[in-house]
Amino acid sequence: MLLAVLATVAGVYNHGGKALDDKQVGDFYAAHDKAMLGQDGEALCAMAAPDFEMVVLYRMDSHQKRETTSREKYCNSNGEWAQVLRQVSRVANPEELID
């Protein structure tokens, strides 16, 4: 009986410790949006878990390709993406170059 009670308490504690409430989820999305709008690749990388893995499935007609990206590749890609966006924004706003 004691074992069942301990197992139940441990299960509730474990689940409660890993569950996210609405505020935590909202805060994460707000931080993500801020990093995206600010073109902050480092902040986006910091949000990814150490064991992060992204899987993308490309489909076209009868062909498909599956691509898996590690955290390292994701972080590098975000840095490159942010750099390209900064360059594009400079071209789109030439008056900044004149100053």
Q: What is the pTM of this model?
A: 0.58
> Quick one: average pLDDT of 50-62?
93
pLDDT at 93 over 90: no
How far is Cα 62 from Cα 33, in angstroms, rounded to an integer?
Answer: 35
Question: In this predicted model, which residue has the larger pLDDT, 76 or 87?
Answer: 76
Please tell me the chain's helix, strand, coil percentages from 3-state DSSP, rounded to the nearest 5. 70, 15, 15
The domain segmentation of the chain, as residue ranges, is 30-93
Q: State which amino acid sits at residue 77.
A: S
Other CB atoms closer than 10 Å to residue 27's CB: what's the count?
A: 12
Confidence at residue 10, expressed as pLDDT on a 0 to 100 scale: 61
How far is Cα 54 from Cα 70, in angstroms, rounded to an integer?
Answer: 7
